[in-house]
Amino acid sequence: MLIGRHDEIRRVEELTRAAAKGQGGALVLRGGPGIGKSALLDHARRSTPGFLVIQASGSQFESEMPFAALHQLCMPMLGHAGELPEALRVAFGLAEGTPEMFRIGLAALQLLGAAAARQPVLLVIDDAHWLDDASAKALTFLARRIVSEPVAMIFAARQGLEELPGLVVEGLAEPDARALLPATLDEQVRDRILAEARGNPLALLELPRAGGFDLPETSSVPTRIERSFAARLAGLPADVRTLLTVASAEPTGDPVLLWAAARELGIDVAASGAAEASGLVEFGTRVRFCHPLARSTVYHAADVGLRHTAHRVLADVTDPESDPDRRAWHRAQSGTGPDESLAAELEQSAARARARGGVAASAAFLERAAALSLDPDRRTERTLAAVRAKLEAGTAEAAAELLSTVDASGLDEVRQATVDLLRGQIAFVRHNDSDGPRFMLRAADRLAGLDPKWSRDCYLDALEMALLVGRASGVLDTVVDAARCAPPAPKSPDVLDALVMLTTEGYRAAVPVLRAVVADDEAIAARPALASMIASELWDADAHTAVTEWITKSGRESGSPMMLRLGLALTASNAVYSGDFGKAMSAIAEEEAIADAAGIPPLMYPRLHLAGMRGRRKEALETIEAARAMADTRGIGQLVANIHWAAAILNNGLADYPAALTAARQAVANGDLFIAGITLPELVEAAVRCGEDAAAEEALASLTERTEASNTTWGLGVAAYARGLVTGKEDDYREAISRLDGSAVLPYQARALLLYGEWLRRQGRRLDARQILRNAHEMFSQTGMEAFARRAADELRATGGQARSRSVHSYDELTMQEVHIARLVATGATSKEVAARLFLSPRTIDAHLRNIFRKLGITSRRQLRDLPDLQA
């Protein structure tokens, strides 16, 4: 029985009891080495009769092998599912294909669901701090999606997995610590061990074995424990120590490999008895050390020659056909000197690991391949490839350190350009380094005469990066100057040519080229984010919708998570401009599901656009603060511009014009594509209300230049009501209403009515104002623009009229995820189809539907189809 640990046992048992009732959950036990995490996992295993218990563990030696831990968990569940889903076959290297993290996570969830349909499941993951990156993402995916499943997941980790619920495991209280010590210990020795162990259970068990009469030391408890393990190891015969060293070097714990290696070394099987008697290891269906510290102690206690021998023999007995990558890795650790054939073998392993989604493993293989390369050119190529892989794996500091080993002075121009590109990407990922665009521009300059197409791509990379870090204006000028001297694009239209013309010749000259870009599928495919910004820059709702639909369709057909997420984010923003907030919520929920499945943050832009336009002050401010925190953490400057636009439209709706003016000025300050232009009408209104006529006239001039050049209904209508604000002429307001009447941008049509009604009231024409304001209020209310609806209602009451009660929308009571599920079900989609779309289990979808029915006061899926604002 465990001594103490009452609170920890309670938390674990609460988790497993809830899982037995179909309410799944996860818990991460966090604490230092030997603190008792593994003992709590053992208690969970013993105290869950009726559960299917599946266990896995991270391994220091396998932390860079993709999906190693996930493989441990999935294979025991195959008896419940029949066969391994295709996505998992790809992940485990059993089938060809491109691994997609969210598909792999969904396949693992389906496998787990099949097992849980028969009996509750307990997943136990020890040493989770050593999980390979791919498994960590997949298991986090599972942990977030088992809330409606009879599944409990318990992790033990020293650190990491912060996004999951956790419990810090502390040292034992002194009475419990005393109970762990042998009663025969000398009292002074007991007191000293208690003082040194500080409640660490493993220390309390191990330190008495090491004696207790050493001089006091300042070393940490883990170091003392390791010395205890080393003392046990030192007393063993040489062949037993060799067997233990081979076992410590073999990360899978496969006894077949261990005994094959032992035979190669001439070790008698009897040595296993002495090894087990030491208490350091046990041999069964897996070879398990008593603690990870014991394994690392055994490995590092061996001299270098013995470790090299262990890896060499393990490589010899590993099947080159079924496990070529682990064989190559063992060979690489076997102490061989530079070896071009082994370097090439490791390079092939890197390619296989990458194909399976193991970017971290690919980087490790490539780095070792570079170290073993005899040819200087191949060493440089492999090092640069390893840097790229480390960047993709999210380890920018490690990438920078490895890149610093490359002497760029002796490289040709193409490789020097490659080094500059990598430096730029590292600077961008570091967030606190603003030199990324500068390195990109330098790479583009180097390539201008050697590879014009690549050079043009680098210029656009620099511009996109500058847009994200909020330094687009300066970089755009540099890009334009360089591009004017560069060779023309091999195919027209070209995004770079369009941006050059926009900057050098103005809107009127650039509009035809801009339109050609957003009408060209190849141009959109090459730079989808820039193409969408150009469509918005044109104030062209139809073009923006067309670009959005193309990107979304392309993302769905290709399976590209990046393209699909961008398409969904644009779909949400497009729906906000058109006043379909239910559709916006649905698209946001789906984008977030994909982002969560891939283990990356969701895009904040559409959330900001919806929150600003919807006008719920508290909700909008929370969204703005969350976006600001993300911008600060990740160094996304353009996100800041979107924050200011959302704040400007929110505060104009709330009639807080000074705050709106400040935000609008900040949004247009850098002249960012799309955001600067769409913020101009907010700046005009706020400046007029604050009596800053010069600022209003300057913003109106810029808005007029853009909208007259684009010549669209949306742009000309907005410019007309902005002009009315500045001139005070009725004809301008009437023109705005006429142009926007029946348009696809309902919020802007309602804005035109509100501004005209306000003008009429201030002219003393209360009766004329009343009907206009009533129409505006109904449109705002119908759309869900709550701040502007209240503003219209206040103006209407000032005319002596009475505003009708605000329209209640079905989506007002639902979360964004519930809105998306409701809209999909309303189209006739089954729970299984919706589950696949949102990377959830059908059981979870059904649980969400029960909540949706309760909130909406309905009882069937058919009734969802009768709710007009939930129609997809």
SS3 823: helix
The three-point CA angle 499-500-501 to 5° equals 90
Q: What is the CATH architecture assignment of 811-870?
A: Orthogonal Bundle (1.10)
What one-character DSSP code corresponds to residue 602?
Answer: P
In order of 425, 453, 533, 576, 658, the CA distances from 483 in angstroms are 21, 11, 20, 35, 41
- 572-577, long-range: CB within 8 Å, 24+ apart, which pairs? 572/606, 572/609, 572/610, 573/605, 573/606, 573/609, 574/541, 574/544, 574/545, 574/548, 576/606, 576/609, 576/610, 576/613, 576/747, 577/541, 577/544, 577/609, 577/745, 577/747, 577/748
The pLDDT value given to residue 687: 97
SS3 172: coil
The pLDDT value given to residue 81: 56
The pLDDT value given to residue 214: 39
Tokens of 129: 């701090």
Question: Which mean pLDDT values do the consecutive 10-residue runs of the chain (872 residues) have?
Answer: 88 95 95 90 93 88 80 81 78 77 86 90 93 89 91 94 92 88 75 78 74 43 75 88 90 85 89 88 84 82 91 91 84 84 89 78 87 91 92 83 87 91 83 74 86 84 70 65 68 74 85 89 83 88 92 85 89 95 94 83 92 95 91 72 95 97 93 87 97 96 95 96 96 97 93 97 94 95 94 94 77 87 91 88 90 90 82 64
The pLDDT value given to residue 218: 40
Which residues face 122 on adjacent strands?
Answer: 53, 152
Nearest to 459 by CA among 439, 484, 434, 440: 440
Rg (CA), the chain: 32
H/E stretch holding 151 reads strand 151-157
Beta strands in 231-329 (DSSP E): 281-283, 287-289
The pLDDT value given to residue 397: 86
The pLDDT value given to residue 287: 86
d(CA 409, CA 398) in angstroms, rounded, equals 21
Kind of pairing between the strands at 25-30 and 287-289: unpaired
6-168 is a CATH 3.40.50.300 domain: yes
Single pTM value for the model: 0.79
3-state helix, strand, coil in the chain (%, to 5): 70, 5, 25
* 234 CB burial (10 A radius; 0-12, 13-18, 19+): exposed
The pLDDT value given to residue 704: 96
